[in-house]
Amino acid sequence: MIQSLDAIARLRELLASLERDMGLNTLSPNERAILYAMQRLSNDPSRKDQPTAVLRTDSIKSHDLVGSMSQPTFNRALKSLIQKNFVSPAPEAKMGCYILGPMTTPRNE
C-alpha cells in the first residue's frame, strides 16, 4: 500500500508540474476536469463516425472525469473555459457543441 501511495504521490507531483508548465494551474479543478474529459473524448477512436473535434455537452458531462459534477457547476466551469479561450463553441454547429481551443500559448495569469 505504501509503495502504491508513493507512486500516486509522484504522479500527482508530475501532473502539477505539467499543469504549471502549460498554465493550467490557474484553472479550477472543475475546469481542468472538463478540459481533460474533452481532450480524451476528442481522441476516442470509437467516435470515427463523428467529427472528433466537435463535442456535445451531454457527452462531456457523461465522461468519468466529469460525471459526478452537478449541472450548475458544469455550466459555470464550461462558461469560464470559454471566456478563458480554452474551449470555443463549435462553428456551424448546434447549440451545446464545443471544440477545444484556441490554446496557442501557455497561460500565466
Would residue 84 count as lying in a domain? yes
pLDDT band at 104 (very low <50, low <70, confident <90, very high): very low
Is the pLDDT at 108 greater than 50? The verdict is no
Partnered with residue 99 across adjacent β-strands are 88
The C-alpha cell that represents 78 in the structure block: 464550461
Q: Whole domain around residue 64: which residue ranges? A: 28-100
| pLDDT tens per residue across span 3-47 | 999 999 999 999 999 999 999 999 999 999 999 999 999 887 665
Determine, yes or no, domain membership for 1.
Answer: no
Assess if residue 106 is contained within a domain: no
The CATH number for 83's domain is 1.10.10
Establish if 8 belongs to a structural domain.
no
User: Cα separation of 78 and 106, whole Å?
Assistant: 19
Domain assignment present for residue 36? The answer is yes
Number of domains in the chain: 1
Nearest Cα to 30, choosing from 40, 20, 38?
Answer: 38
Whole-structure pTM value: 0.82
Q: Is residue 62 part of a domain?
A: yes
Is 66 within a domain? Answer: yes
Please report the pLDDT score of residue 94 as a whole number. Answer: 79
- Residue 75 scores a pLDDT above 60: yes
Q: Name the band, by pLDDT with cuts 50, 70 and 90, for residue 106.
A: very low
pLDDT of residue 105: 41
Residue 43 lies in a domain: yes
Q: For residue 78, is pLDDT > 90?
A: yes
Question: What is the structure's pLDDT at 45?
Answer: 65
